[in-house]
A and B are shown apart, each in its own frame.
Chain A
Amino acid sequence: MPNMEKSNNTNKRHIRNDIILVALLLLFVIVGGIYLFFFRATGDAVKVTIDGKLYATYSLSENREANIYTGNNQQLNRLIIKDGKAFIETATCPDKICAEHRAIFRDGESIVCLPNRVVVTVIKSDKTDAPDAVT
């Protein structure tokens, strides 16, 4: 049964390649995860944008609570800064995904509220070209 043998070999080769594929992907996940968790500097401020436009910048070094409003004074999200970390406490959007997001503090981390178009991003203030922090 030479034919059977061949298909068996092909199967084995395929499964070996599958395992290589999964191993490569896992390697990427592990290396990327380690890099993001341990080697990224912590930021010192958060930048809030609504619909891509800069709304405010808050320093992470002091505790504060900030309400984020749209132009017509409708409250969107409530941002809390505590112990150098920022998180969203409450939101008016239907899915509340942003309010469940863990606190952010590393440079570049962000919390996104898609329905309200609000993005909160951690920055290092020495590299921002934005005007002075609104404090």
Chain B
Amino acid sequence: MNNKIKTITFTGIFTALAIILAYVELLIPPLFPSLPGIKMGLPNIIIVFLLYRKNVTSAILVSLIRIALVTMLFSNAMAFLYSLAGAVLSLLIMILLRKLNFLSVVGVSIAGAVAHNIGQILMAMLLLDSSELGFYLIALIFSGIIAGIFVGLCGALLINKFPSKFH
């Protein structure tokens, strides 16, 4: 019982953090207005942190609850589908790479960011029935590398401040 309360509280706090980061990201004007998928992916700092300092379950929970709430608050159903596709692919890749343990935090974050963008493109291909999104894919992979490095460095900083895992 005590454990359950702990889990709920923990998930709640970190989901709130992820939502705030998503909101902060909305306040930053887009760098390239014609390419709407390009953004920092700040909430991924929390997901990376949870993967290294808590467990896979909490990372999945926080990521999915965060996306459901953020799209309900600030966005629409279309954006929900894009975010979900990106988040699921990104989570799968990051969990796998974390388990394999051959990349640093930054590497895992880069792979996650790029996977997130590829997931969005796959969803766009599905929804728009168009396979001609090659330029977009390349731009998004490149932006994913940059965003992944930044997010990974933030995540690593945070992880180093908490030397042991949460229980």
A residues with a Cβ closer than 8 A to B are 11, 13-15, 17-18, 21-22, 25-26, 28-29, 32-33, 36, 52, 95, 97, 100-102, 108-110, 112, 114, 119, 121
Contacts and interface: CB of A to CB of B under 8 A. Distances in A.
Nearest to B32: A100
Contacts of A114: 78, 128
A95 B110 CA distance: 29
Contacts of B33: 97, 100
Contacts of A11: 104
Given A13-B102, A25-B144, A25-B145, 13 more contacts: A14-B107, A17-B102, A17-B103, A18-B104, A18-B107, A21-B110, A25-B114, A25-B141, A28-B141, A29-B138, A102-B34, A112-B130, A119-B128
B104 A121 contact: no
A73 to B, nearest CB: 25
What interface size band does chain B fall in? 20 to 34
Q: Per DSSP, are chain A's interface residues mostly helix, strand or loop, or mixed?
A: helix
B43 to A, nearest CB: 22
Contacts of A18: 103-104, 106-107, 110
Contacts of A101: 34
B142 interface: yes
A95 B106 CA distance: 34
B111 interface: yes
B145 A22 contact: yes
Contact of B130 (A15, A17, A110): A110
Interface of B: 33-34, 36, 78, 102-104, 106-107, 110-111, 114, 128-130, 132-135, 137-138, 141-142, 144-145, 149
A25 B138 contact: no
A33 B114 CA distance: 16
A32 B132 contact: no
In the A-B complex, list the 10 residue pairs whose CB atoms are closest, starting with the nearest.
A18-B107, A14-B104, A100-B34, A108-B132, A32-B138, A29-B142, A110-B132, A17-B102, A17-B103, A18-B104
Nearest to A106: B135
B141 A36 contact: no
B145 A26 contact: yes
Contact of B134 (A14, A36, A95, A121): A36
Nearest to B104: A14
A101 B36 CA distance: 11
A13 B133 CA distance: 35
Contacts of B104: 11, 14-15, 17-18
